[in-house]
Amino acid sequence: LKQEALLELSSVQSQQELSDLRIKYLGKKGPLTEILRGMGALSADERPIIGQVANDVRAAIENVIEEKQAAYQKEETEKRLRAEMIDVTLPGRPSQQGVVHPLSKVIQEIEDIFTGMGYTVAEGPEIEQDYYNFEALNLPKDHPARDMQDSFYITEEILMRTQTSPVQVRTMEKRKGEVPIKIICPGKVFRRDDDDATHSHMFTQIEGLVIDRNVRMSDLKGTLLQFVQEMYGKQTRIRLRPSFFPFTEPSVEVDVSCAMCGGEGCRTCKQTGWLEILGAGMVHPRVLEMGGYDPKEYTGFAFGMGVERIAMLKYGIDDIRHFYTNDLRFLKQFLHL
Ligand code: PHE
């Protein structure tokens, strides 16, 4: 039996055959099981001898089967390893890398500069009530200055905000007369403008507001000078020109020295050496009052800038529409900035 089994085992070709032979020789219906089952009929002297022989045969067959099984397993593992092999020397597939949009980048930069001066960032709704966008900013219904900002009205009382200044009013309301207020408010604003290289019906503003005791015009000027020097470089100068906004008095328009020509005069600054970037002023007493701050005790300043314009001047971008048309060739230029 042993020889027969070993002979058959020596010529197995597959794992299936091996497992068939295991059943044939060692299984419940196999010859060995039969022999062991028949042991009861043997005499007490024969039993240990036959048992010994049967066990030896069983062990011998088991040994061979196990060896073969191990060999099959090894082969299979190697096959799998070979199939799953990764060639680490192959060149990688390039993945598309996104970039932070230049507008987001500039907003972040402006926020960093002002939070560095102790400001916090506040936000407000893009769909705004007439009261916050105009009335509480000292622009009553029939005020001619409303024409300065052609608006998208949704109903008579609700519109797309034309400026981020309503966040001033909302903040004053929320703070209920407490000082200091020191915020900047970035966000989208909307105006009924025909789009061209320098106009867009939607653009981004950042409004700033400071209210406290003894806030002066010189604080405004110092703050803005600090800002433009961090934004455009230490050599940058500013110039304030008298202007008008209904919610500030006095009001100024703020120019920066042209970074392109250093004030010599070039195309960017139309040969003047200066570029207008901001509107600003001392918060109008009526606005303070409507916001719940006694103008005899508190003063404040506010400023507002168009982020696209700041970004265009910083990076030499010649058309505001580039920001919104999602041309990858434009966006990819900002990969390394
Ligand atoms: N909100 C003004 C505008 O959109 C800018 C501004 C803000 C001016 C704050 C003064 C103070 O034109």
Per-residue pLDDT tens for 220-236?
999 999 999 999 899 99
pLDDT at 148 over 70: no
Q: Whose CA is nearest to atom 7 of ligand 1?
A: 304
pLDDT level of residue 48 (50, 70, 90 thresholds): confident
CB-CB contact of 298 with 262 (8 Å): no
Mean pLDDT of the chain: 90
264 is in an annotated binding site: no
Atom of ligand 1 nearest to the CA of 165: 1
pLDDT value, residue 138: 92
| Ligand 1 mutation target, pool 150, 247, 251, 253, most atoms within 8 A of CB | 247
pLDDT value, residue 119: 97
Which range among 4-13, 134-143, 245-254 has the greatest average pLDDT? 245-254
CA distances from 224 to 188, 241, 260, 281 (A): 22, 14, 20, 11
Lowest mean pLDDT among 48-57, 59-68, 143-152: 143-152
Going from the Cα of 173 to the center of ligand 1, the distance in angstroms, rounded, reads: 19
pLDDT value, residue 37: 81
Neighbour count for residue 264 (Cβ, 10 Å): 10
pLDDT at 137 over 70: yes
Residues with CB under 6 A from ligand 1: 163, 165, 207, 245, 248, 279-281, 302-304
What backbone phi and psi angles, to 5 degrees, belong to 280?
-160, 175
CB-CB contact of 249 with 259 (8 Å): no
pLDDT at 263 over 80: no
pLDDT value, residue 43: 84
pTM above 0.90, yes or no: no
CB-CB contact of 138 with 144 (8 Å): no
Helix (H) or strand (E) holding 206: strand 202-212
CB-CB contact of 102 with 315 (8 Å): yes
Residues ≥6 apart with Cβ < 8 Å to 129: 157, 158, 166
What backbone phi and psi angles, to 5 degrees, belong to 153?
-90, 140
| Ligand 1 mutation target, pool 207, 211, 217, 307, most atoms within 8 A of CB | 207
User: Can you tell me the mean pLDDT for 19-43?
Assistant: 84
pLDDT level of residue 151 (50, 70, 90 thresholds): confident
pLDDT level of residue 191 (50, 70, 90 thresholds): very high
